Amino acid sequence: MYTYKLPQQSSRKNFLFNMIGSLTNAIVSLTLMIVVSYFTDKSTAGVFSIAFSTAQMMYTICVFEMRNIQVTDAKREFSFRHISMFRLLTIAAMWIFFVVFAIIRGFDKETVLVMIVITLYMTVGAMSDLFQGNLHRNGYLSIAGRSLACQVALMAISFTVTLIITRELLYAAIAMPIAVTIWIFVHDIPFNNNFDKFRPKFELNAISKMFLCALPLFLSSFLHQYIFNSPKYAIEGVLSKADQANYGYLVMPVFAINLLSIFVFRPQLITLSEDWANGNFKGFKKTATKLYVWVALVSALALGGGYLLGIPVLELLYNADLSNEKMVFMVLLLSGGFSAASTLTLTLFTTMRKQGLCLIAYGATIVFALIMPDIMTSAWGLMGAAFSYLCEMAMLFVIMFVMFLISIKRGK
C-alpha cells in the first residue's frame, strides 16, 4: 500500500493538532445529540443516548487501554505487530461481551440494533487508534491528532447528512463505521507504513505480557465508563425514554470536561514517564501539580458558565425544555470535575507503572454503582441519578488521590 511522506517533526504542531483532535472528539457526542434532537423525537434521542454511551463503554474493551502503554514503552518491549494482534483479540472479546451484556440488560430491539451499529463504529475507531498510537510513539502526535479530528468530523457529517435525508437513526448510524473505515485506508495506514506494516503476529509470551500490563488500566477504564453509565441504566429501568433524553442532554457537558482535560494530559505522557523512570521526582510532581491545577480551572469555568448560561444554551441546542433541571445540571458538572481529576490520577499511575493500585478505588466505587443508582433514581428521579453519579466520582477521586500521595512519598 502507498506510503505518504512524513512532515518535519514539531512539538508545536504536536500540541496544536492533539488539542484540535481532542476538542473535536470532545464535542462530537454533543453535536450528534443535537442533530438527533432536531431531526427526530425525544424517544429516539433517548435511544441514541443509551446506545452511544454503551458503545463508548465497549470501546474501552477494544482498545484495552494500550495507547498509554504503547506510547510510554521507552524500552520497546512490545512491537507494533504484537500490539496489532492484541488489538484484534480485544475486539473479538468485546463482541462476545457485548452479546452477553445486551441479553442481561434486556434492551428492546430498536435500541439493540442502533447499539450494534454504533459499537461497530467504535470497533473501527479502535483500529484507527492503533495506527494513531504508533504515530504518537514515533514522535508524530500531530498526525495522530489530525487523524482523530478529521475522522470524527467525517463521521459526524456522514451521520448528519444521512439522518436529514432518511430521518432514520439506524441508517444514520450505519454511515458512521463506513466513513471511518474509508479514512483509515486513505490516511492512517499510508502514514503508519513509514514505521510499520500492519502484519499482526501472535506470540503467546508477548500477548500475555501486554495483557497483564494493561489489565489493571483496562479494568479501571472500563469500570470508570460503567460508573459513568450506571445512572443511565437506572433511568432505563425506572423512568421513560424522554427522561433518558433529558439526562443525556444534561450530562453531555460533563463528558466534555473529561475530554477537554485529556488533550493537556497526552503531550505530557513521555515527560512524566521519563521523569519518574529517571528519579526526577521534583519534575514529576511539578508537572502533575500543573495538570491538577488545569483540571480545577476547567471545572471552575464549567461550573460558573453552567450556572449562568448552561440551561438556556442546552435548551437552545437541543430544542428541549430543561428549565426545571438546573440543579441536576450543576450536580452533574461538579461530578465532571471529579471525573476529570480521577482520569488524571489514573494517567499518573500509568506513567509510574502502578496502575494496579487504582483497582482498589474502582472496586469500592463499583459496589456503590451497582446498587445505589437504581435506589436513588427510583426515589428522586433525575436528581437521584445525578447525585448518585456525584457520589461515585467523589468517592473514586478521594480514594485514588490518597493512594497517589502515598505512592509519591514511597517512590521518593
Query: What pLDDT is recorded for position 74?
Result: 67
**Res. 389: pLDDT tops 80:** yes
Q: Pick from 380, 125, 62: which is nearest to 231 by CA?
A: 380
Mean pLDDT, range 104-108, rounded to an integer: 87
Report whether pLDDT(1) > 70.
Answer: no
Asked if the model's pLDDT at residue 348 lies above 90, the reply is no
C-alpha cell at 154: 467525517
- The predicted pLDDT at position 80 comes to 93
State the average pLDDT over residues 180-205: 94
Residue 400's domain spans which residues?
215-412
**DSSP string for 389-412:** HHHHHHHHHHHHHHHHHHHHHHH-
Residues 184 and 222 in one domain: no
Q: What is the pLDDT of residues 29-74, one digit of tens each?
A: 888 989 999 999 888 998 998 999 999 999 999 999 888 788 877 6
Alpha-carbon gap, residue 117 to 124, rounded angstroms: 11
* pLDDT tens digits, 146-172: 999 999 999 999 999 999 999 999 999
139, 72 Cβ separation under 8 angstroms: no
- Shared domain for 34 and 160, answered yes or no, is yes
Q: How far apart are CA 138 and CA 350, in angstroms?
A: 19
Is residue 21 a part of any domain in this protein?
yes
386 band by pLDDT with thresholds 50, 70 and 90: very high
Quick check: is 208 in a domain?
no
Q: What is the pTM of this model?
A: 0.82
Calculate mean pLDDT across residues 348-372. Answer: 84
Quick check: 90 pLDDT over 90? Answer: yes
* Domain presence at residue 257: yes
First-to-final CA distance of the chain: 49
Could you say which of 149, 177, 202 is where a domain stops?
A: 202
Q: Which of 202, 234, 266 is where one domain is finished?
A: 202
Share of the chain above pLDDT 90, in %: 48
Kindly state whether residues 22 and 92 are assigned to the same domain: yes
* Within-domain flag for 409: yes
- 227 & 314 share domain: yes
Helices (H), 266-412: 269-277, 281-305, 311-318, 326-351, 358-411
Q: Which residue has the higher pLDDT, 278 or 176?
A: 176
- Count the domains in the chain: 2
What is the pLDDT, as a whole number, of residue 77?
83
Assess whether 231 and 297 both reside in one domain: yes
Q: Does residue 299 carry a pLDDT above 80?
A: yes
Last-in-domain residue among 150, 174, 202: 202
Q: How far apart are CA 226 and CA 223, in angstroms?
A: 5
Residue 135 is assigned to a structural domain of this protein? yes
Residue 209 belongs to some domain of the structure? no
Check if the beta carbon of residue 215 is closer than 8 Å to that of residue 95: no
Is the domain of 51 the same as that of 194? yes
Class of residue 38 by CB neighbours under 10 A (exposed 0-12, middle 13-18, buried 19+): middle
| Distance, CA of 158 to CA of 236 (rounded, Å) | 28
* Average pLDDT of the residues in 142-149: 94
Mean pLDDT of 190-214: 92
How far apart, in whole angstroms, are the C-alpha atoms of residue 146 and residue 376?
Answer: 42
**Which among 81, 74, 49, 219 has a CA at the least distance from the CA of 137?**
74
Helix intervals (H) in 64-106: 66-71, 80-105
Do both 342 and 314 map to the same domain? Answer: yes
Which set of grid coordinates corresponds to residue 79?
Answer: 512491537
Residue 321 within any structural domain of the chain: yes
| Residues 276 and 167 grouped into a single domain | no
Report the pLDDT value the prediction gives residue 170, as an integer from 0 to 100. Answer: 96
Q: Residue 343 pLDDT more than 90?
A: no
Same domain, 146 and 12: yes
Domain assignment of residue 161, yes or no:
yes
Verify that 253 and 392 share a domain, yes or no.
yes
Grid cell 482498589 is found at 360
Same domain (yes/no): 39, 94 = yes
Residue range 248-298, pLDDT digits in tens: 889 888 876 776 666 677 677 777 777 787 777 788 888 888 888 888 888
Cell numbers found for residue 378: 427510583
Q: Determine the Cα–Cα distance for residues 289 and 295; give it in Å rounded to an integer.
A: 10
Q: Can you tell me the mean pLDDT for 237-250?
A: 86
Tell me, yes or no, whether 150 and 238 share the same domain.
no
- Distance of CA 260 to CAs 152, 253, 365, Å? 15, 10, 24
Residues 300-342 have pLDDT tens digits of 988 999 889 889 989 988 888 888 889 999 999 999 989 889 8
User: How do the residues of the chain divide into helix, strand and coil, expressed in percent and rounded to 5?
Assistant: 85, 0, 15
